[in-house]
Amino acid sequence: MATGPLRFRTPHIEELPISQSRQSAGFAWVAVSTAQDDPAKNWGTTNRKRARASLGGQTEQQKEALSARVQRETERKIKELNSDNSRDVVIDIAKKPGQSTGGALKAGKTTGTKKILASGKTFAHYLDDEEAEIARTGRRDGDADAPAAAQRASKTPLARRKPRADSSASHSPAPLVAPMAPPPIPRLPTTDSSAAPIPLDGLDDDDDEEEDDEDRVPRMPTSVEMDALLNAPPLTYNQARSAPPPAGMPPPRRFCETCGYWGRVRCLKCGAMTCSVLCKDEHDQSRCLKMYA
């Protein structure tokens, strides 16, 4: 099986800091030489919690280190939420008694189907196979094989090859979309809209009024552009995934673990959020210790 460069499932690739000591929740190592080197505020870093708060918070690296572990945890939880089979169940399809040609029929009629029926691959296997093939040949079979064929058989080991510019293994839809987007909308006179295949009556009226304005109604794509869109090859599974929300959005909301209201106070030991003292008490009794048990 070909080995392509490692591809993570997450949309972002986070850089884990290498030189970071192992952390446990509740405190953070604070480097002495941070941005504010004010000796008056630096009470001698024995009191780490105060130092962390007073020295302007954790550094970027420390925040990322903490969040990498948390992120792994959430990824695992999400995968569990999206798992198809509730637990590892092995259900055999019992052979019905009285089936005419029981064994042969069950196994499949041709060699191809026998293989398909007997294969125990899961979806993750198929996805990985496809990603590996794309990384190896530049495009999955059937669609644009021309660029792969034209390239000289490369002697660079796979690990050192730079990702091809038109490789479709990129994770965000944006790079692949760029060649598909129509050329920048030229300022055309309204008579040209007759080339458009989509008549929308409402827009024609607007065109007459706003022809000279800066924010004119966008032009309908021509039939050539529509053909290009329609005949574009389908995206791969990873490309079609929804991208993360833009960075300007508010941070993810946290909820109380016990009752589900907004989370307002964080447990020092395990980092879970609860909403009120009552919920926090309940959390301490039943859920918190389980982390340590």
Partner 1 sequence: MARQKSLSTTAISPNDLASRTLILDNGAHTIKAGFSSHLSSTPISTTACHVIPNCIARSTRDRRTYIGPELTTCADFGDLAYRRPVEKGYVVNWEGEKAIWERGFLANAANAANNDESGLGCDPAETNLILTEAPNAPISLQRNADEMVFEEFNFGAYYRTIAPALNAYAPSPFPSTTASPAGIPLECMLLIDAGHSHTTITPLYHGRPLHPAIRRLEIGGKTLTNRLKDLISRTFDVHREDHLVEEIKEDVCYVSPSFTRDLERTWKGGRYDGREVDSSVVVDYVLPDYEHIKRGFYRPHDTDVMNLRNRALGIGTETGRREHVVTLGNERFTVPELLFTPSDIGMRQAGLCGTVLQSLDALPEGLRQAYLANVVVVGGTSLLPGFVERLESELRAAVDEATVIRVARAESPVKNVWMGGARLAADEAALRAVMITRQEWAENGEGWVRRRFVGKKGR
Residues 127-186 that bind partner 1 (CB under 8 A): 127, 129-130, 140-142, 173, 176-177, 180-182, 185
Which CB, 41 or 77, lies closer to partner 1? 77
Contacts of 124 (CB under 8 A, 6+ apart): none
Q: Measured from the CB of residue 69, what is the shortest distance to partner 1 in angstroms? A: 13
| Closest CA relative to residue 61, chosen from 25, 28, 17, 12 | 17
Contacts of 293 (CB under 8 A, 6+ apart): none
Sole residue written with tokens 């009120």: 276
Q: Measured from the CB of residue 91, what is the shortest distance to partner 1 in angstroms? A: 5
Compute the distance between CA of residue 52 and CA of residue 259 in angstroms, rounded to an integer. Answer: 31
Q: Indicate the residue type of 230.
A: L
Q: Measured from the CB of residue 12, what is the shortest distance to partner 1 in angstroms? A: 7
Among 39, 103, 245, 248, binds partner 1 (CB under 8 A): 245
Q: Measured from the CB of residue 215, what is the shortest distance to partner 1 in angstroms? A: 10
Q: Measured from the CB of residue 28, what is the shortest distance to partner 1 in angstroms? A: 21
Compute the distance between CA of residue 291 and CA of residue 25 in angstroms, rounded to an integer. Answer: 12
Number of residues near partner 1 (by CB under 8 A): 89
Q: Indicate the residue type of 268.
A: L
| Closest CA relative to residue 29, chosen from 58, 4, 7, 9 | 58
Among 8, 27, 43, 255, binds partner 1 (CB under 8 A): 255
What binding mask, one character per residue, do residues 192-221 give for partner 1 by CB under 8 A, x or -? ----x-x-x-xx--------------xxxx
| Closest CA relative to residue 258, chosen from 292, 227, 281, 235 | 281
| Closest CA relative to residue 180, chosen from 246, 130, 234, 244 | 234
Which CB, 17 or 199, lies closer to partner 1? 199
Among 91, 165, 247, 293, binds partner 1 (CB under 8 A): 91
Q: Measured from the CB of residue 26, what is the shortest distance to partner 1 in angstroms? A: 21
Which CB, 26 or 244, lies closer to partner 1? 244
Taking CB under 8 A as the criterion, which residues in 40-79 touch partner 1?
Answer: 71, 74-75, 77-78
